[in-house]
A and B are shown apart, each in its own frame.
Chain A
């Protein structure tokens, strides 16, 4: 295993990590997500060597690096607030780590220019960091971290200070550059879009404990606890398994039937999760491949950026459904409209 975290426990008073175990493969892009105070940053800083654990081990490429000097680890870190050295130019900032590794001036200059071009900051090399925009500073910071070809790149809320458009560009850029350099990335974030756009694997952390590890779509579709479900913003409600069909579990949720492709025993009380974006809304009953079709009434409409968020009531259960304002208008939907909700059995998670 490329990176292996074994039973890491850190007690820092306010922030604690309890028995963290995690395995990361080479070249993987891993996001660590969780509310503030969950210990995400401490975990990164422990891997970088800024904190020594009270218990546990960290292995990189099989080598125990738990107590290895920070400077000998070859792990780079990018912070939310860029942390560019203000007394050095963009060029000197990027060169800083390279200069330590090799004294070949010409090669170093070539490498700085190459990564600067890749990150679109080659025209800023002579500037001082304080004269740059947020996006430019973060690209410089990423260039400085990647130019030394680290074994591991750690990103601590690296995009949270950037505006929406820049964030979107940066996600693509970082993903591409990390891929080109073959860098393994651990990215701490609280933004789900980072997870969707970049992650091969996602770790959910709360109060210093790992709640769930898996591919982003697994976690979003099948959260393993109320906390993860609520945190990732999915619909959850209770239901009882009433019967089984081949490959299908049929549940009763407050008087209506729901089909799920997940396994559960008859009579078992479970929680059901459906991602809002997996629900299709129609005004008339139509034939689709979706196993589930339920009638309900719109009781709340909210516009969130470019998305309409509709609350649809079915008996006592309220489901959140997402759609574009365009579709909303096209279907002539309004408050108290009667609608049909369709979703596939495979998009219903049970836990």
Chain B
């Protein structure tokens, strides 16, 4: 195959796949009737699911970022015993099927000392709203750590050295210098985390149970309604999920556009 035909082939393939994907997304918007979508949007189930989704995803995103920043910093800046193992374990959920992650979490919180301990203090996780947050947290955490870690790795340690030598402690330096320098990495990982948590399904289904109007978040609404054959509701939850992701990405682009603050 000469270069010209390969060029033609690769471009044609890209266009075909993109077109197919675009058509699939658009069919979400054009297949159902507008009234059907409007009605589904106003249903109490959809409003409950949307509200619960936004609340749990926001909370788990906050938790993920709060945990991912120090973990990524430790992995990037310090050498310690077991670092390689920690890195591998942290990355495991990315390779795990989500359902297996959910099952593993279900066992952790029901059949181990962790579950017993929580039960002793009167805390139950399995099949509750907390389970949604926990499942979302573990689904998204590895991605967030990866992005923030890459951002820390991109910052020369010399910035921190200079700040320390000018009289600032490790934490003050982290706050004054490191965090502002990895700001874009943190925005990126926040958006990716939010998108991941909004769309988390398998682990949530297993750990939180996917109960109608109790632990029902948007992907669960989609799943439940497809099972009942209620296509209108299923499609509407799909549209809502896509719209939220789209807004998140637009917001990210906007925030990233503001990075010219370095070049004023």
Contacts and interface: CB of A to CB of B under 8 A. Distances in A.
Contacts of A76: 165-166
Interface residues of A, number: 28
A70 B263 contact: no
Interface residues on B, range: 20 to 34
Contacts of A45: 161
Interface stretch (A82-90, A159-167, A198-206): A82-90
Given A85-B177, A86-B181, A96 B163 contact: yes
B158 A81 contact: yes
A100 interface: yes
Interface in A64-110: 69-77, 79, 81, 83, 85-87, 96-97, 100-101
Contact of B165 (A71, A81, A87, A128): A71
Contact of A148 (B156, B167, B263): B167
Interface in A252-276: none
B212 interface: no
Contacts of B176: 96
B166 A73 contact: no
A144 interface: yes
Contacts of A130: 262-263
Contacts of A284: none
Contacts of B177: 85
A70 B181 contact: no
A131 interface: yes
B158 A83 contact: yes
A100 B165 CA distance: 11
Nearest to B162: A83
A48 B165 contact: yes
Nearest to A48: B165
A74 B162 CA distance: 11
Contacts of A15: none
B142 to A, nearest CB: 29
A38 to B, nearest CB: 20
B159 interface: yes
Contacts of B161: 45, 48, 50, 70, 77, 83
Contacts of A74: 167
Contacts of B214: none
Interface of B: 156, 158-159, 161-169, 176-177, 180-181, 261-264
22 contacts: A45-B161, A48-B165, A49-B165, A50-B164, A70-B161, A70-B164, A71-B168, A76-B165, A77-B161, A77-B165, A79-B158, A79-B162, A83-B159, A83-B162, A87-B262, A97-B166, A97-B167, A100-B166, A130-B262, A131-B263, A144-B162, A148-B166
CB-CB nearest 10 A-B residue pairs = A97-B166, A100-B167, A70-B164, A86-B262, A83-B158, A87-B180, A128-B264, A71-B167, A83-B162, A130-B263
